[in-house]
């Protein structure tokens, strides 16, 4: 005969065991939000490797302008390459970028900032592995257009008054001109929403663009045949928002607008990374 005390003990033990198993099952079957996002990302690529994101900087910047975006993309499992842009002219700069693209195997997403948009538009025309284009406060020129022409299509750019031109002897016996932004005007003109100390470093590290590059006509426009995304910066003093909207609408780009300066990749790296990842997921299907 079993005592009442022993029976109760076994009942309590059974109840605890059942509750523990139920909690374990819940923990196993109900993923965290982060886990759900990871699963959704994996589904988008069907178990395949994620595309390589190739980042092309523009004038008055260098590869470090993508540092925040690179950190976000790598955190989400994307391989990333920030290419060095010579800033000499659309044709030669696109040729330089193609050498980088040719070295990268598999699908690629290209993102260009500012003048870098002109370069990715030309470089991607002959690469079937480029699945999508992302324009970050960038030019989307049609063949025959120049960056200078597009900038002046609508009012709002204050860049000409902030420039510091430097003329130097050219190899053919003539001269050429490089353009910098004056360091005392850099933050206001280029990076108004970036902390002052960081903007000062960016001003000191800026790479000049050849004046001729802004006057050279584009010859390729990959956005005419590839899906594209655009980040339009509404507080941009380099490329007015009206110009960015005009180009994005013409390209039928998926557009995200943000109240940011021209240096949106520095001030809003998560937003820029999100748009790049949208392009990656949308073109994986």
d(C-alpha 284, C-alpha 278), whole Å: 10
Say which DSSP state 145 is in: -
The per-residue pLDDT for 64 is 97
Q: Which domains does the chain have, with CATH numbers?
A: 37-282 (3.40.50.1820)
Q: pTM, whole model, 2 decimals?
A: 0.85
Q: In terms of Cα–Cα distance, which of 103, 106, 105 is closest to 284? A: 106
pLDDT digits (tens, 9 = 90+) for 199-212: 999 999 999 999 99
Mean confidence (pLDDT) of the chain: 88
pLDDT digits (tens, 9 = 90+) for 266-281: 999 999 999 999 999 9
Burial of 219 (0-12, 13-18, 19+ CB in 10 A): middle
pLDDT digits (tens, 9 = 90+) for 27-79: 323 233 333 334 444 567 877 889 999 999 999 999 999 999 999 999 999 99
């Amino acid at each position: 005969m079993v005592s009442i005390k022993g029976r109760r003990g076994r009942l309590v033990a059974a109840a605890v065991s059942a509750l523990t198993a139920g909690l374990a099952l819940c923990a196993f079957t109900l993923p965290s939000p982060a886990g759900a996002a990871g699963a959704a990302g994996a589904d988008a690529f069907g178990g395949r490797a994620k595309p390589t994101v190739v980042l092309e900087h523009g004038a008055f910047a260098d590869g470090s302008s993508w540092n925040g975006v690179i950190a976000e993309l790598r955190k989400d499992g994307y391989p990333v390459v920030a290419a060095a842009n010579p800033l000499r002219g659309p044709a030669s700069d696109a040729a330089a970028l193609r050498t980088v693209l040719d070295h990268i195997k598999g699908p690629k997403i290209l993102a260009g900032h500012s003048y870098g948009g002109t370069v990715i538009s030309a470089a991607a025309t002959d690469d079937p592995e480029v699945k999508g284009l992302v324009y970050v406060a960038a030019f989307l020129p049609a063949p025959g257009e120049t960056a200078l022409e597009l900038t002046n299509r609508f009012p709002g750019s204050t860049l000409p008054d902030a420039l510091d031109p430097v003329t130097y002897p050219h190899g053919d016996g003539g001269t050429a001109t490089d353009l910098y932004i004056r360091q005392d005007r850099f933050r206001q003109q280029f990076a108004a929403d970036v902390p002052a100390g960081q903007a000062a470093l960016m001003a000191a590290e800026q790479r000049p663009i050849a004046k001729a590059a802004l006057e050279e006509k584009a010859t390729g426009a990959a956005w005419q045949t590839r899906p594209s995304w655009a980040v339009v910066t509404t507080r941009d003093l380099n490329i007015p928002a009206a110009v960015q909207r005009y180009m994005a609408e013409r390209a039928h780009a998926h557009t995200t607008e943000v109240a940011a300066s021209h240096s949106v990749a520095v001030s809003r790296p998560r937003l820029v990374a999100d748009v790049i990842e949208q392009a990656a997921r949308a073109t994986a299907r």
